[in-house]
């Protein structure tokens, strides 16, 4: 068995053949299915909303890892849980009252995650780490797939891991953006627990094999 979780990002799949993409992930060694929700306000892109999620819920056999890149996410937390979200991650930068938002997520029964943009220091989560199930480090600027990995992420992951261990937090560290076979091992060595992979999986000639290789990196 590999020592990390792998979450293929549906944003990089062929939207004309989502059923096939989800079936492939179901058959694979992937642990979660990652879904990026973008509103065109918090990030300069729009992805998909509840109609697509409701469809994915019916098809996916993997837990749905839902990453909200939206303003005012509190409005929709219950609805995303209804749409099948197993993990709900909000952005630190989008939440005025982060503790309240995290508690609202946990009250739905979902795992509560907080994401940090590349420029946001990990230390800002110090006071809330004990309440989190997951911290998602963006290793590219959010909004578009296929971007180049930001090398600063390794140091940030190590810093975050030290804080988690120091506080005896259960929080997993997830990294999203530019994750490849070339940097997967270094990320895991830095303390990362969950690898989100979009283009690396869905552009591969054999996506099932690529997920296997990431899982055992």
pLDDT per residue rounded down to tens, the chain (217 residues): 357 999 999 999 999 999 999 999 999 999 999 999 999 999 888 999 999 999 999 999 999 999 999 999 999 999 999 999 999 999 999 999 999 999 999 999 999 999 999 999 999 999 999 999 999 999 998 766 666 899 999 999 999 999 999 999 999 999 999 999 999 999 999 999 999 999 999 999 999 999 999 999 9
Measuring CA to CA, which residue among 28, 49, 52, 45 is closest to residue 144? 45
Q: Annotated catalytic sites, by residue?
A: 36, 176
CB atoms within 10 A of CB 168: 8
User: How far apart, in whole angstroms, are the C-alpha atoms of residue 47 and residue 198?
Assistant: 14
Tell whether pTM > 0.85: yes
- Tokens 């109609």 correspond to 51
- pLDDT tens-digit readout, 148-198: 899 999 999 999 999 999 999 999 999 999 999 999 999 999 999 999 999
- Dig out the tokens for 108 from the structure: 């739905």
What angle (nearest 5°) sits at the alpha carbon of residue 86, between those of residues 187 and 66?
Answer: 60
β-pairing, 64-69 vs 85-91, is parallel
- Give the per-residue pLDDT at 157: 98
Domain 5-215 grouped into CATH 3.90.1150.10: no
User: How far apart, in whole angstroms, are the C-alpha atoms of residue 23 and residue 125?
Assistant: 36
- 3-state SS assignment for residue 65: strand
């Amino acid at each position: 068995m590999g020592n990390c979780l792998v979450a293929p990002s549906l944003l990089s799949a062929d939207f004309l053949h989502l059923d096939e993409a989800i079936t492939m992930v179901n058959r694979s060694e992937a642990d979660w299915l990652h879904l990026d929700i973008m509103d065109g306000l918090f990030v300069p892109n729009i992805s998909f909303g509840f109609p697509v999620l409701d469809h994915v819920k019916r098809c996916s056999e993997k837990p749905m890892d839902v990453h909200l890149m939206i303003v005012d996410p509190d409005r929709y937390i219950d609805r995303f849980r209804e749409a099948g979200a197993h993990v709900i991650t909000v952005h630190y930068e989008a939440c005025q009252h982060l503790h309240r938002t995290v508690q609202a997520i946990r009250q739905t029964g979902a795992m509560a995650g907080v994401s940090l943009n590349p420029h946001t220091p990990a230390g800002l989560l110090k006071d809330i780490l004990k309440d989190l199930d997951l911290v998602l480090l963006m290793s590219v600027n959010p909004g578009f797939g296929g971007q180049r990995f930001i090398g600063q992420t390794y140091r940030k992951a190590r810093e975050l891991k030290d804080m988690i261990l120091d506080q005896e937090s259960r929080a997993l560290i997830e990294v999203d953006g530019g994750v490849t076979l070339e940097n997967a091992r270094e990320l895991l060595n830095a303390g990362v627990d969950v690898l989100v992979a979009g283009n690396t999986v869905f552009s591969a000639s054999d996506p099932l094999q690529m997920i296997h290789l990431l899982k055992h990196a």
